[in-house]
Amino acid sequence: MLVLKFGGTSVATPENIDKIKNIITGYTDRIIVVVSAFGGVTDQLINAGYRAQKQDDSYKTILKQIETRHLEAIKALLPVTDQSKVLSNVKRELNVLETLLDGAFFIGEITKKLSDKIVSYGELLSSYIIAEYFKSQGIDCAHKDSRELIVTGLANGRTTISLEQTNSNCINFFNTSKNKVVICPGFIAKSEAGDPTTLGRGGSDYTAALYAAALNAKVLEIWTDVSGMYTANPKMVKQAKPIAHISYEEAMELSHFGAKVLYPPTIQPVLAKGISIRIKNTFSPEDDGTLITKSKNEKGKTVRGISHIGNIALLSLEGPGMVGIPGVSKQFFEVLSQANISVVLITQASSEHSICIGISVDDVALAVAAVNEAFAYQIERGRINKVVPETSLAIVALVGDNMKNHQGLSGKMFSTLGKNNVNIRVIAQGASERNISCVIQEKDVKKALNALHEEFFEENIKQLNLFVMGVGNVGSKFLDQIQQQKKYLKENLKLNVRVIGISNSRTMVFDDDGISLKNWKASLAEGLKADKEEFFKTVNKLNLRNSIFVDNTANKAVSDTYKDYLRNSISVVTCNKIACSSKYTNYHELKELARVYNAPFLFETNVGAGLPIIDTLKHLIASGDKIQKIQAVLSGSLNFVFNNFSDKTTFHDVVKQAQEEGYTEPDPKIDLSGVDVMRKILILARESGTQLEIADIGNNSFLPEESLATTSNEAFFTSLKNHEAQFQNIYRQAAEKDTKLKYVAQFENGHASVGLQEIPKGHDFYNLEGSDNIVLFFTDRYPKQPLIVKGAGAGSDVTASGLFADVIRIGNY
Catalytic residues, by residue number, are 680
Q: Which is nearer to ligand ADP, 281 or 569 (CB)?
A: 281
Classify the C-alpha dihedral 662-666-668-671 as positive or negative.
negative
Contact 530, 505 (CB under 8 A): yes
Query: Is residue 264 part of the contact set for Mg ion (CB under 5 A)?
Result: no
Task: Name residues contacting Mg ion, limited to 167-206 (CB under 5 A).
Answer: 202
Q: How far apart are CA 489 and CA 486, in angstroms?
A: 5
By CB under 6 A, which span of 7-15, 90-98, 189-197, 607-615 interacts with ligand ADP? 7-15
Classify the C-alpha dihedral 540-545-550-556 as positive or negative.
positive
For residue 9, the minimal CB distance to ligand ADP (Å) is 5
Contact 9, 224 (CB under 8 A): yes
166, 233, 437, 639: which one binds ligand ADP (CB under 6 A): 233
For residue 202, the minimal CB distance to Mg ion (Å) is 4
For residue 290, the minimal CB distance to ligand ADP (Å) is 8
Give the CA angle between residues 453, 568, 801 to the nearest 5°: 80
Q: Which is nearer to ligand ADP, 9 or 247 (CB)?
A: 9
Beta-carbon contacts of 52 under 8 Å, excluding residues fewer than 6 positions away, are: 59, 101, 102, 104, 105, 110
Beta-carbon contacts of 469 under 8 Å, excluding residues fewer than 6 positions away, are: 475, 502, 503, 504, 532, 535, 549, 550, 551, 552, 553, 558
Q: Cα-flanking dihedrals φ and ψ of residue 48, to 5°?
A: -65, -45
Q: Which is nearer to ligand ADP, 202 or 811 (CB)?
A: 202
Pick from 425, 421, 433: nearest CA to 303 = 433
From the list Mg ion, ligand ADP, ligand ASP, none, partner contacted by residue 546 (C-beta under 5 to 8 A by kind): none
Q: Which is nearer to ligand ADP, 234 or 389 (CB)?
A: 234
37, 48, 150, 229: which one binds ligand ADP (CB under 6 A): 229
CB atoms within 10 A of CB 57: 12
Q: How many CA atoms lie within 13 A of 524 on its CB side?
A: 25
Contact 235, 247 (CB under 8 A): no
Beta bridge partners of 436: 398, 429
Q: Which is nearer to ligand ASP, 7 or 636 (CB)?
A: 7
Binding string, 15-54, against ligand ADP, x = CB under 6 A? ---------------------x------------------
Q: How far apart are CA 684 and CA 753, in angstroms?
A: 12
From the list ligand ADP, ligand ASP, Mg ion, none, partner contacted by residue 230 (C-beta under 5 to 8 A by kind): ligand ADP
Binding string, 482-521, against ligand ADP, x = CB under 6 A? ----------------------------------------
The two beta strands, 751-759 and 390-399, are unpaired
For residue 35, the minimal CB distance to ligand ASP (Å) is 9
By rule CB under 5 A, what count of residues binds Mg ion?
A: 2
Query: Is residue 475 part of the contact set for Mg ion (CB under 5 A)?
Result: no
2, 4, 9, 457: which one binds ligand ADP (CB under 6 A): 9
CB atoms within 10 A of CB 682: 29
Q: Cα-flanking dihedrals φ and ψ of residue 396, to 5°?
A: -115, 135
Q: Is 513 exposed, middle or buried (0-12, 13-18, 19+ CB in 10 A)?
A: exposed
Residues within the interface to ligand ASP (CB under 6 A): 7-8, 36-37, 42, 122, 186-187, 201-205
Q: How far apart are CA 588 and CA 596, in angstroms?
A: 12
Q: Which is nearer to ligand ADP, 254 or 515 (CB)?
A: 254
How far from the centroid of its chain's Cα atoms is residue 331's Cα?
40
Task: Name residues contacting ligand ADP, limited to 296-325 (CB under 6 A).
Answer: 305, 307
Q: Which is nearer to ligand ADP, 100 or 208 (CB)?
A: 208
Task: Name residues contacting ligand ADP, limited to 196-225 (CB under 6 A).
Answer: 202, 224-225
Task: Name residues contacting ligand ADP, limited to 240-259 (CB under 6 A).
Answer: 254, 259
Give the CA angle between residues 472, 473, 479 to the nearest 5°: 80
Q: How far apart are CA 177 and CA 189, in angstroms?
A: 20
Contact 177, 63 (CB under 8 A): no
Q: How far apart are CA 151 and CA 686, in angstroms?
A: 77
Q: Which is nearer to ligand ASP, 202 or 319 (CB)?
A: 202
By CB under 5 A, which span of 6-14, 165-173, 432-440, 601-609 interacts with Mg ion? 6-14
For residue 401, the minimal CB distance to ligand ADP (Å) is 16
2, 3, 4, 7: which one binds ligand ADP (CB under 6 A): 7
From the list ligand ADP, Mg ion, ligand ASP, none, partner contacted by residue 307 (C-beta under 5 to 8 A by kind): ligand ADP
For residue 27, the minimal CB distance to Mg ion (Å) is 22
From the list ligand ASP, ligand ADP, Mg ion, none, partner contacted by residue 201 (C-beta under 5 to 8 A by kind): ligand ASP
Q: Which residues bind Mg ion (CB under 5 A)?
A: 7, 202
Q: Which residues bind ligand ADP (CB under 6 A)?
A: 7-10, 36, 202, 224-226, 229-230, 232-235, 254, 259-261, 305, 307
